[in-house]
């Protein structure tokens, strides 16, 4: 068994894997790491290995606590990855995006792949069938779009994500939902369309916290898996053992 740990901007996601099968997933805030992990370790006392990637800064005391209780592999820019990184500024590329690209290469070999991670930000990452990471794009996620409308205007309310009932919103709240949700929907479809101009065939992976919310509204043929980063960590751990 192995734990995979994804440290985000707000929350930590932990998955328990039995070989390649995801057994259980836990989500909690970063400030609650020790208390929650103690419970997880009691339930899975035979699991002593963990692999971690972090886009949100984790306190050193938490890292030390994990290392005390687990054989911890931290993924960093110095880790072994199964692709050639052609990003212009490789040291500024988020480790989470590198992990997603690694998972795509390992799980979908010899394919052109576009990974769309719909979380706090929406990231687009493209890997060629020759295992070349080219880069992509970054834009605000759903929550940031709702918050920006509220924070940078005088009267617009702060709303939680909701599927718009109508394309034409007939009140302020419905207009916001239509603008935010449909706006992101058309953005994703637009990126897919642009990539298809130069790549006749490619696989699209939609992941992140808003993946399931968005998947049914997209016309593109995609693989929607909100746990793809956690699965990618499991794949990358195996790859690291073989290429250490």
- Annotated catalytic residues are 96
Q: In the numeric block, which tokens belong to residue 43? A: 């339930």
Task: Compute the half-sphere exposure of residue 195: CA atoms within 13 Å on the CB side of its CA.
Answer: 25
The pair phi, psi for residue 51, each rounded to 5°, is -125, 135
Query: What is the sign, positive or negative, of the torsion defined by CA atoms of 34, 117, 219, 204?
Result: negative
Q: In the numeric block, which tokens belong to residue 138? A: 């970054």
- CA–CA dist 15, 31 (Å, integer): 18
Q: Are 29 and 37 in contact (CB under 8 A)?
A: no
Instruction: Tell me if residue 200 falls in helix, strand or coil.
Output: coil
């Amino acid at each position: 068994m192995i734990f995979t740990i994804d440290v985000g901007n707000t929350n930590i996601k932990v998955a328990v894997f039995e070989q390649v099968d995801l057994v259980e997933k836990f989500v909690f805030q970063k400030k609650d790491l020790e208390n929650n992990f103690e419970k997880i370790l009691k339930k899975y006392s035979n699991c002593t290995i963990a692999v971690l990637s972090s886009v949100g800064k984790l306190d050193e005391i938490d890292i030390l606590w994990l290392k005390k209780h687990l054989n911890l592999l931290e993924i960093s820019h110095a880790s072994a990855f199964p692709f050639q990184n052609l990003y212009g500024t490789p040291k500024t590329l988020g480790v989470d995006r590198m992990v997603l690209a690694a998972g795509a290469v390992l799980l979908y070999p010899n394919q052109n792949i576009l990974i769309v991670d719909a979380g706090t930000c929406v990231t687009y990452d493209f890997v060629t069938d020759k295992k070349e990471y080219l880069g992509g794009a970054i834009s605000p996620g759903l929550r940031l779009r709702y918050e920006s409308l509220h924070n940078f205007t005088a009267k617009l309310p702060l709303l939680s994500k909701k599927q718009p009932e109508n394309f034409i919103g007939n009140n302020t709240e419905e207009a916001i939902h239509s603008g935010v949700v449909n706006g992101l929907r058309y953005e994703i479809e637009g990126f897919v369309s642009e990539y298809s101009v130069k790549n006749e065939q490619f696989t699209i992976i939609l992941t992140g916290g808003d993946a399931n919310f968005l998947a049914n509204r997209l016309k593109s043929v995609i693989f929607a898996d909100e746990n793809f980063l956690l699965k990618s960590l499991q794949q990358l751990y195996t790859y690291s053992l073989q290429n250490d």
